[in-house]
Structure 1
Amino acid sequence: MSSKDLSLLEVSYLPLMEYGAAWKLQREAVAAIDAGTGNEQLILLQHPPTYTIGSQHHPEHLLLSAEQLKEQGIALFEIDRGGDITYHGPGQLVGYPLLKLGEDGRVDLHGYLRRLESVIIDFLAAYGIEGGRKPEYTGVWVGDEKICAIGVKFNKSKFRRGFITSHGFAFNITAGIGQQGFQGIIPCGIAEYGVTSLEECAGRPFEPGTVARELVPYFLKHFPYEVPAAE
């Protein structure tokens, strides 16, 4: 497929954005993509400390009281993506692909999730880290520790067949993130396994903004788009 046959993908990196603002940004972008007034997007960013509870809705997997959340400065949102509870915070790269699926009538929702996992698995492999899957869970694992959580929403198009994706992946970059916000929850409702980070697996420091830039070619490998040149 030549570049002239590819759809445009706008890629942006935002060093830090409050979760509610990012959620609003996604909804607005999805509406514009659906209406044909906006391009598909990949938004990469970090959030301040935040817990999000997905559509599986298990508030009992939040182990902190409202008072403790306030004391620790952690926001809480009940949102419309799939999955259970997870943590977002500085040192974690969050990716929101806002993409059109199924315009040709072929909708492989599970395939979309597997492709997101493959992006992270391929990136890890470039640093000599063996990432993989667990058949019963969505996400990317290194051994028995999760390094990347995935939770998405498939927004039914109002104007055409198919869906537009929102939400996405949360890739742990900084060492010690498992001892930070993840201590206050049962991550994704999975009590028997832990979490890890890119720094812990590679044994060297990483900067989330650099990882965001390096990750884009792996994303384009599994989701072929044309990315406009930066001005």
Structure 2
Amino acid sequence: MTQNKEIQLQDLGNKDYKETWDYQEELFKGIVDTKIRNRREEANSETSNYFLFVEHPHVYTLGKSGDLSNLLLSEKQLEAKGATFYKINRGGDITYHGPGQIVGYPILDLENFFTDIHKYLRFLEEAIILTLAEYDIVGTRSEGETGVWLDVGTPFARKICAMGVRASRWVTMHGFALNVNANLGYFDNIIPCGIKGKAVTSMHAELNTHVDEKLVKEKIMKHFSTLFECEFV
């Protein structure tokens, strides 16, 4: 199979979580169907890759291995906060998405790049770590916990970027959520990622100033394209 290193970039702006999830599923299925057809018909059709940037209205999502008790709100309280809740098919536990957060969903056929999920997750983290470094924020990994953290190994460890992915037949979906100017108060209603006693932070909180999200997206894309040796179209 010829490797397609082009990734179609789409910025969806502010979009409902469920609508975006359905759209992800549609793109994901299209790639998987092409792969199945290629195998069945011994064909060599190129598979597409996509990268979606999006910002969601207030929403809590629970991964398939997650524990519902990590959501600390009743249905009525959710409603009062103008937030929605979904159980979804990614890895990981519970997380929050909302305005001021950059969410990235790479829907890639990893056979176009490399077939290694562990490496894929590390590259996602690395793209964020390199982006934060441009703002003099030192992001690191926390052993056994996906995502990007600050001050790991100290009492002040805090998470700045959550990650949860799904992969099937080497096709990925879901992705990362980087807190840029997000309202961190919404995290008080959950035990983020099911990890008790760990704080969350944002670029805004760390730098004490509003951060240009468009610029952050450009930096993420720059580092992503270097790591994955790909081209955004």
What does 1:166-185 correspond to in 2, within 5 Å?
166-174=173-181, 177-179=183-185, 181-185=186-190
Report Cα offsets for 1:101-138 as digits up to 9, x if no partner.
2469x632111111110000000111111100110210
> SS state of the match for residue 232, structure 2?
coil
> SS state of the match for residue 97, structure 1?
strand
Number of aligned residue pairs: 216
Aligned partners of 1:14 and 1:45 also within 8 Å: yes
Is 1:125 aligned to 2:125, yes or no? no
Aligned partners of 1:29 and 1:38 also within 8 Å: no
TM-score by length of 2: 0.87
Report the CA distance shift for 1:37/1:26 in structure 2 as closer, same or farther (over 3 A).
farther
Report Cα offsets for 1:59-118 as digits up to 9, x if no partner.
0000000110111111100000000000000010000001112469x6321111111100
Runs (4+) off by over 4 Å: none
Distance in 1 between the 2:22 and 2:220 partners?
Answer: 24
What stretches of structure 2 of length at least 5 have no aligned partner?
35-44, 152-156
Letter matched to residue 178 of structure 1: L
TM-score by length of 1: 0.88
Q: Indicate the residue corresponding to 1:76 in structure 2.
A: 85
Answer with 50-59 or 28-37: which moved more.
28-37
After TM superposition, give the deviation of residue 193 of structure 1 in Å.
0.9
After TM superposition, give the deviation of residue 218 of structure 1 in Å.
1.0
Answer with 94-103 or 21-30: which moved more.
94-103
Report Cα offsets for 1:142-201 as digits up to 9, x if no partner.
111100000000022xxxxxx1000000000016x221x211100001112100001122
Letter matched to residue 223 of structure 2: Y
Letter matched to residue 94 of structure 2: I
Aligned partners of 2:48 and 2:109 also within 8 Å: no
Q: CA RMSD in A?
A: 1.9
